[in-house]
Amino acid sequence: MNTGGKAVFFKKIEELRKVVRDIEIDEIIVGTGRFRVQFEGESMRALADSIKSHGVIEPLIVRFENGLYYLVAGERRLRAAEMAGLSVVPCISVAATQIEAAVIAIIENLHREDLNMFEEASAIRSLIELGSMTQETLARRLSVSQSYIANKLRLLRLSEDEKEAIVRCGLTERHARALLRISAEGERREILSIMIERQMNVAAAEEYIESILCAESRANEIRSKPDRSEQRHKLIIKDIRLFYNSIDHAVDVIKKCGIPVESTRKETDSGTLISILLPKEWRAAG
């Protein structure tokens, strides 16, 4: 997070009345609309072990309203403390409205880099909806650019299955943004599977998706031309990598349908020989 965002966070905390106190875990209410969803894996177990040995070093942030404590920030620490067997946790009680509490929560998590890309995007959407704010207004409050907010929100167009696969397989936000260039969800899922299977880095994924879009664009351009047979069915490939990637993509799609097709490329004196092998039993079935 940039220094401006940190300054806003610390200034906000200083402005609010706060008292550090131990609060029973059972007394802390975790809201239903929270944006953090990932609380699993080795990092959680490591945090729980650390808390068991050293306690909760950084207090949670809560707000007190109508005799109840509502969690503002620190859900991961709260859950780890429960795993460690603690019954009470140190908390900073702040006097904040619901909107102020939401702003504190996302800034605190951004500062700590606790959220994955989709949790952060969900948090930003929640702030916009809760505070009836525009992207520009929220960008000013978080000390980021409006394009930063817009790019985060675009990530939410992916399906839940796509989000889960991206996080589970360790793909980056640039992978996700490249994938969003494909509008059809079914095609996106196929491409995502191929990206994961081939362990594509960002550059390879972007090039692969670009080749698919270019092939589709050229095909559409040819179909839209006057009905002259040669012109209508002849596709001029300026970049040979585009041609290869298009074939690879078609073969991958066929494989996803359960057909064990294989493709090979062989350089000869006269050019490149591309072969696609379909087993006899599948040809007989067809």
What average pLDDT does the segment 21-28 reach?
93
Is the model's pLDDT at 273 over the cut of 90?
Answer: no
pLDDT category at 111 given cuts 50, 70, 90 is low
What average pLDDT does the segment 100-117 reach?
73
Helices (H) and strands (E) in the chain, counts: 14, 7
Pick from 36-45, 64-73, 114-123, 138-147: least confident: 36-45
Is the model's pLDDT at 226 over the cut of 80?
Answer: no
Is the model's pLDDT at 93 over the cut of 60?
Answer: yes
Q: Which CATH class is domain 3-156?
A: alpha beta
Closest to 24 (Cα-Cα) out of 89, 120, 85: 89
How far, in Å, CA of 20 to CA of 23, rounded?
Answer: 9
**Cβ pair 78, 47 in contact under 8 A:** no
Predicted pLDDT at 131: 74
Helix (H) or strand (E) holding 60: strand 60-65
Name 207's Cβ contacts closer than 8 Å, sequence gap at least 6: 241, 245
Is the model's pLDDT at 78 over the cut of 70?
Answer: yes
Tell me how far CA of residue 202 lies from CA of 41, 115, 198, 205, in angstroms: 25, 21, 12, 5
Residue 244 burial (10 A CB sphere; 0-12, 13-18, 19+):
middle
* One-letter amino acid of 109: N
pLDDT category at 17 given cuts 50, 70, 90 is very low
The reported pTM is 0.61
Name 68's Cβ contacts closer than 8 Å, sequence gap at least 6: 27, 29
Residue with the larger pLDDT of the pair 264 and 9:
264
Is the model's pLDDT at 207 over the cut of 80?
Answer: yes
Is the model's pLDDT at 31 over the cut of 50?
Answer: yes
**Cβ pair 91, 60 in contact under 8 A:** yes
What average pLDDT does the segment 212-230 reach?
68
For 80, the 3-state DSSP assignment is helix
What average pLDDT does the segment 101-126 reach?
78
pLDDT, tens only, 141-187: 888 899 999 999 999 999 999 999 999 999 999 999 999 999 999 99
pLDDT, tens only, 32-57: 655 555 666 677 889 999 999 999 99
Is the model's pLDDT at 232 over the cut of 50?
Answer: no
End-to-end CA distance of the chain: 57
**Percent of the chain whose pLDDT exceeds 70:** 77
Is the model's pLDDT at 231 over the cut of 80?
Answer: no
User: In the chain, what are the domain boundaries?
Assistant: 3-156, 158-259
Predicted pLDDT at 42: 79
Which residue shows structure tokens 């994938």?
A: 179
Q: Is the dihedral of CA 71, 76, 77, 83 positive or negative?
A: positive
Helix-helix angle 202-223:240-256, to 10 degrees: 100
Q: Chain-wide mean pLDDT for the chain?
A: 81
Half-sphere exposure of 88 (CA within 13 A, CB side): 7
Residue 142 burial (10 A CB sphere; 0-12, 13-18, 19+):
buried
